[in-house]
Structure 1
Amino acid sequence: MTEKELLQAPPKQLFKLSKLINQGVISYDDLADIIPGILHINNREDLALEYISKEGCNILRYSLEELRTLGAEVFEKHQSHFTRTITYPKLMAEIGKDDPNHVIPFFQDWQYEEDEKPVFHFTSTKILNNTQLISISLFPDRIEYLTNAVNRLFGMNKTYDKYFCCYKKMTKREKEILGFLGQELSRKEISNLLFIDEKTVKKHCENIYKKLNTSKRTELEKIARAFATI
């Protein structure tokens, strides 16, 4: 895999895995045993850790109970000024868009002791529900293993893989309308449901076709099904 493909892979897999959790197909612990990385659940308001896999506890050198007690204070103790003042505000701004289909990739560091070399992780985060985020953090050399593990266990969706990068560029409203198109609703029906003008829906549809680089309604319906949010 190229470097670009490697960095695109974890967000794709996180999208799939979060759907399985919300569907009740798999638990946090079961998922943590499968993926080659650190699974963690963070509070949406301050990123405090509410769950982290055993491997994550070992790397951070805290028990889950200790991390829950420390809350967001743990970041002040062990992460760089850059991560806390630059990376996290950008992350929170993206989360603030309140788009459950948006996966946010970023790098973060962790330094347990001041005289130790910081450890860097590539993290992918997305909204799990109204109060929580779901994230997977990986060492760069393990990113490809995540892709292979998820595809082997849960299968591949060619439409999903083909359009993932284009889908990420769509606005929240465009994704919402795409979902209605996937239900074979007309522009008029969509305008009634969203309480917006039909001409506005038409403009959104034009943008959707352009961003997904297709002119076929049937293809849009396939894409909508591939990215359906539960």
Structure 2
Amino acid sequence: MSVLNEKEFLITNQQFAFKLRDLFLANRDLFNQLEEYLPYSIHVNNKETLDLIYCNDKLLSKGPEMVTLKEVGATYLDKISCPKLLNLAKKKAKQFKVNQDFKEVVSYPQHLKVSDKMTFFYSNKLHLNSEYFFNISNFMDDLGALGSVFNSIFIVLQKSNIDWQCFQSLTKREKEILDLLGQGHSTKVVSEQLFISERTVSTHRKNIYFKTGCKNIVELINFNLALKVLKF
């Protein structure tokens, strides 16, 4: 699975989120007819409390925890979520609420207990109206090989040493090289794009590995993509 395909998956999900949000607003009857055939868990939640106002059967059928979440409210998330990723999601939702840009989408991973098993899922959040958010999610366990790839990416977000402080320890040049290496480019291509020698790229690459704690190019690619997820 190439990095490009993984990025295409993220972009395609965002595009579907817009189309489904607009259909939800424009023709609820048609949306209801289609939603059972869609590969997404869909929910609408309150911007202030984050409580679920609507969720489809695909989400509720994931496990009894989802039913309890619908009944009890968003406070139940504290009991079934990875604290680090939950705080990230709450922070993004708070910032997103303020901007009120109906043409923007914010994306983020979460790690929830579902049927007594911790499971990653990836969500796209949009403004539905002044009061509610519209969300579509993919549970990684439902995506086969691609889900395994994203599980390996999202697990990076849980490591204590993989965070913004770690990223900010990189120099400006190291961040540029990280991004190019994280896109799958070779040392030779990076040197050509940045007009520096391959030896200089190799030196920066060693420093990047040391500062990020990555042990190989696969971990470095996952680290770079995880940072892009954080910045959505």
> What band does the TM-score fall into relative to the shorter chain?
0.5 to 0.7
Aligned partners of 2:70 and 2:9: how far apart in 1?
Answer: 31
Gaps of 5+ in 2: 147-232
1:137 is displaced (CA, Å) by: 0.7
Map of 1:74 onto structure 2? 76
Determine whether 1:45 maps to 2:48: yes
Query: What letter is aligned with 2:51?
Result: A
Moved more, 118-127 or 31-40: 31-40
Please tell me whether the aligned partners of residues 60 and 66 of structure 2 are also in contact (alpha carbons under 8 angstroms): yes
Aligned partners of 1:27 and 1:72: how far apart in 2?
Answer: 28
Please tell me whether the aligned partners of residues 41 and 58 of structure 2 are also in contact (alpha carbons under 8 angstroms): yes
Give the TM-score normalised by the residue count of structure 2: 0.54
Map of 1:128 onto structure 2? 128
Aligned partners of 1:31 and 1:130: how far apart in 2?
Answer: 25
Identity across matched positions, percent: 23
For residues 16-73 of structure 1, give each alpha carbon's deviation from its aligned partner in whole angstroms, at most 9, with x where no partner exists.
1111121125455334212112011111112111111112112131575x44431112
Match of 1:23 among 4, 23, 26: 26
State the secondary structure of the residue aligned to 2:7.
helix
The alignment's C-alpha RMSD in Å is 2.5
Query: Quick one: higher RCO (CA 8 Å, sep 6+), 1 or 2?
Result: 1
Give the TM-score normalised by the residue count of structure 1: 0.54
State the secondary structure of the residue aligned to 1:96.
helix
Please tell me whether the aligned partners of residues 44 and 135 of structure 2 are also in contact (alpha carbons under 8 angstroms): yes
State the secondary structure of the residue aligned to 1:123.
strand
Aligned partners of 1:122 and 1:16: how far apart in 2?
Answer: 18
Please tell me whether the aligned partners of residues 37 and 138 of structure 1 are also in contact (alpha carbons under 8 angstroms): yes
For residues 76-113 of structure 1, give each alpha carbon's deviation from its aligned partner in whole angstroms, at most 9, with x where no partner exists.
12111112222321232123211111111111111147
Please tell me whether the aligned partners of residues 124 and 137 of structure 2 are also in contact (alpha carbons under 8 angstroms): yes
Residue pairs, 1:53-202, within 5 angstroms: 53-62=56-65, 66-112=68-114, 116-140=116-140, 141=143
Aligned partners of 2:33 and 2:79: how far apart in 1?
Answer: 30
Query: What letter is aligned with 1:54?
Result: D
Please tell me whether the aligned partners of residues 23 and 31 of structure 2 are also in contact (alpha carbons under 8 angstroms): no
